Amino acid sequence: MKKEKKLFECEFTEYNGDQEYTHKKLVRANTEEQARRILTKWLRDWYCDDDAEPIKVGNKITGYDFFGGCPIVSKIHVYRETTKEHFMQEAFEAALIEEDNL
């Protein structure tokens, strides 16, 4: 019987000049490390940069310098295992603007 993969909530931050952009992605994987590898491959494909240099803190890769570190650096965070429903509820709440909240 094939084991069902988990969903991991991932985030990457793009530093582009003076601008900073944070994006959330939902990654289906068996482990947190596999989720990080899948997101890394997706980022490399997105930026068309297979030669991206890893950013390391100690021995752990936390992100990549794309295009020689200029202009884009992405930092990768795998936050937690999640569910589709929880991820969608958080996205809904983050996007919702109500008059009561102003």
So what's the pLDDT on residue 6?
Answer: 93
Tell me if 63 sits within 8 A of 73, measured CB to CB: yes
8/62: higher pLDDT: 8
Q: Provide the mean pLDDT of the chain.
A: 80
Q: What is the pLDDT of residues 54-89, one digit of tens each?
A: 777 788 777 777 765 554 556 677 778 999 999 999
Nearest to 22 by CA among 63, 56, 52: 63
Quick one: pLDDT band at residue 101, thresholds 50, 70, 90? low
Domains of the chain: which residue ranges?
Answer: 33-71
Tell me if 90 sits within 8 A of 26, measured CB to CB: no
Q: Tokens 């601008």 map to which residue?
A: 19
Handedness of CA 16, 20, 25, 31 (dihedral sign): positive
So what's the pLDDT on residue 67?
Answer: 65
Q: What share of the chain is helix, strand, coil (3-state, %, to 5)?
A: 35, 45, 25
